Structure 1
Amino acid sequence: MTTAAEPLRELYPAIEPYATHRIDVGGGHRLYVEEAGNPAGIPVVFVHGGPGSGLAPVMRRFFDPGRYRVILPEQRGAGRSTPRGELRDNTTWHLVEDLESIRERLGVPAWLVFGGSWGSTLGLAYAQNHPARVTGLILRGIYLVRRSERDWIYQSGLHHLQPEEWERFIDPIPAAERDDILAAYHRRLTGEDLEAARRCADAWMRWEAVNSSLTPDPGLIATLTADDTVLPAARILAHYVVNGGFFTSETQLLDGVDRIRHLPATIIQGRYDLCCPPVTAWDLARRWPEALLHMVAGAGHSSLEPGITDQLIRSTDRFADLLREPAPT
């Protein structure tokens, strides 16, 4: 346990990838994948959020580079994966099997799954479908794509806390369509009117950015609304949210916990997470009592908030000790 006297852990030093790959996964999709750290280290897959957001160099820094082989893929249509923003053959289940394709291509018998926000969603879906290929899970800012969670962010809930930003978010949508804001956004983001799509993409991704940390981060807002990425990222995000994550039931990921309860797991949640409220992490932890839940005081959603970073680094260090023996083939 962390005590008040202990200094917060910080990110490991910046590193560059030692290898990059382009992996063809069918349907015209080619995934960008990078590897960093120790090629002979403990395999860990970094499952990025979004969906649609891609990687940033800081994501390599949550792992001891001497102990981990860090594998960082960009999901279909995201970042440097091509074609950017493509929605065809792009569902959660395609992404699950993409992770398996990457694991097999790179010769990894099993790996630790590390993911936050949408990365926690996809990490859970992957682990529940391929539990024998997972050595453990570190999950942050839990998102299960349930109707209550979608409504909180995009229809009725979070606007009580962010009224001025909410007005900016709904401004592109005519009043007559605001009874289903998600559907209205989805129509425009995937429509033929590129000017309207871009205007909606800017508003959507600003809303995502301002709610992704305890206080708005100008750097994150600039990154998520950048000219060359904002529309593809917003299209993919809307595609997944409107379709409820492509799950067959509201509780699919909770109901699937029994398949992975034998795996070591840590859940890290900011107490004041605006976009992924703590009740979701609490619901997951109640279904998974063997998992270690850290509710981080004074923190929001971002992995870069000091208390969240501290717990993530402590967790990867603990798992490095736990997994130092190679997994059987």
Structure 2
Amino acid sequence: MLMEIRGTRLYVDQRGPAAAPPLLFLHGGPGSGTYDFLSFQGDALAQELRLIAVDQRGVQHSDPLVRPVTEHDVIADFEAVREALGIERWSILGHSYGGRLALRYAVAHPATVERVIFENPPWDMELVTRNLVESGLPLLRELGVDQGVDELLADHGPATTQMWTERTGVLHRLGDRRMDVYLGPASRGLKLPADELPEIQSRAGRFAETIIQTPGFVESLLPLLGQLTQPALLIKGGHDPVTSPEEIARFRSDVERGTYRYFEDAGHFVHAEAADAFTQLVTSFVLGR
């Protein structure tokens, strides 16, 4: 359904028993929308949880973006959705870029966020984009499209919008082999259902173009990890190219109530590549089992 939230209409998908513990899903991208995640996990997580998924402003089924947006805007939207639904506290689950938003949200609103789950998050854009390029380097070299990559990796930051654009742009040289970098070997060929929705997927570009220009997008969030007070779960795919070893180490050292789970054979989309195990893990964590 579409909900009037802070001057726009956001698409909010709700599934599961109304009395079950609520879990908010924060999609990645930036600008990817909820359609893919819900296709793999929506009904499964809704067996024991009240799952709420929101297309961020300007994305997929929400109204088109009419003004610039920041990460703080998106978090304010989540809080407004929570209030509109009459939910006192909920757990949150952020995939990829959504894991960045989840960290900001959990630290800014500890009274309303019960538990927080991160799936392959990008907390430090210099480390993330470096890890991304290094993960793709073997295939870039195999295809002979690695020109200038060493120069890009010679820059050790701090992160800038230009760094993000140049480093992430390198993987577009891979064409239809690009997804190979994001998936575990057994998952190669996995199709994301939202690719079948070009008329609304095109909005992702507008959201991304806008938000990457904001200073908050390239700010390292690693210092926030030590401020987490909620139980936190970090899910990492063994073939994920996003979350760097340094970020994992900081989570494990700085988060007092943190739990780390590693899926050796999965990549960036653990929720799709190891769907049943993901459902079980997330459900158990939210229910405190």
Percent identical:
23
Q: CA deviation at 1:111?
A: 0.1
1:98 aligns with: 77
Q: Distance in 2 between the 1:90 and 1:119 partners?
A: 15
Structure 1 pair 148–259 and aligned structure 2 pair: CA distance change class (3 A): closer
Partner Cα distance (1:150, 1:77) in 2:
25
Match of 1:131 in 2: 110
> Residues 36-115 of structure 1: matches in 2 within 5 Å?
36-56=15-35, 57-65=39-47, 67-83=48-64, 86=65, 88-115=67-94
Decide whether aligned partners of structure 1 residues 78 and 209 sit closer, same or farther in structure 2, where only a CA change above 3 A counts: farther
Gaps in structure 2 of 5+ consecutive residues:
none
Q: Which residue of structure 1 aligns with residue 269 of structure 2?
A: 302
CA distance 1:72–1:226, shift in 2 (3 Å): closer
The answer to whether residue 241 in structure 2 is matched with residue 260 in structure 1 is: no
For 1:300 and 1:185, locate their aligned partners in 2 and report how far apart those are by CA, in whole Å.
21
1:150-190 CA-to-partner distances (Å, cap 9, x unmatched) read 2443xx5234132179877x99xxx8xx9699749969xxx
Query: For residues 88 and 71 of structure 1, what CA distance do their matches in structure 2 show?
Result: 25
Deviates more, 1:268-277 or 1:115-124: 268-277
1:5 paired residue number: none
Contact 1:128 1:259 in 2 (8 A): yes
1:264 Cα deviation from its structure 2 partner: 1.4
Higher RCO by CA contacts (8 Å cutoff, separation 6 or greater): 2
Q: Which residue of 126, 131, 139 maps to 1:162? A: 139
- Contact 2:184/2:239 (<8 A) preserved: yes
The 5 A counterparts of 1:23-34 are: 23-26=4-7, 29-34=8-13
Cα distance, 1:59 vs structure 2: 3.4
Contact 2:242–2:268 under 8 Å retained in 1: yes
Deviation at 1:132, TM superposition (A): 0.5
- 5 Å-filtered alignment, 1:270-285, equals 270-285=237-252
Deviation beyond 6 Å, 4+ runs, structure 1: 164-168, 178-182, 184-187, 202-205
- Is the contact made by 1:121 and 1:144 (CA closer than 8 Å) also made in structure 2? yes
How far apart are the structure 2 equivalents of 1:226 and 1:126? 29
Aligned-pair CA distance for 1:218: 4.0
> What is the letter of the counterpart of residue 181 of structure 2?
N
Establish whether residue 228 from structure 1 lines up as the match of residue 199 from structure 2: yes
Give unpaired runs (5+ residues) of structure 1: 1-19, 188-199, 323-329
Match of 2:120 among 141, 152, 156: 141
Once the 2 structures are TM-superposed, how far is the Cα of residue 31 of structure 1 from its aligned partner? 0.7
Separation in 1 of the partners of 2:46 and 2:249? Answer: 29
1:127 aligned counterpart, secondary structure: helix
Matching residue's letter, 1:126: Y
Go from structure 1 to structure 2 and tell me whether the alpha carbon gap of 1:224 and 1:208 turns closer, same or farther (over 3 Å shift).
Answer: farther
Per the alignment, do residues 260 and 295 of structure 1 end up closer, same or farther by CA in structure 2, a change over 3 Å counting?
A: same
Larger Cα-atom Rg: 1
Return the alpha-carbon distance in structure 1 between the equivalents of residues 28 and 178 of structure 2.
12
**Which digits, 9 at most, give the CA deviation of each residue in 1:294-316, with x for residues without a partner?**
12222211124554651442231
Amino acid of the structure 2 residue aligned with 1:148: L
Higher helix share: 2
Q: SS at the partner of 2:59?
A: coil
Number of residues of Structure 1 aligned to a counterpart in Structure 2: 274
CA shift for structure 1 position 318: 3.7
One-letter code aligned to 1:254: L
C-alpha RMSD over aligned residues? 3.6
76 and 161 in structure 1: CA distance in 2 versus 1, 3 angstrom threshold: farther
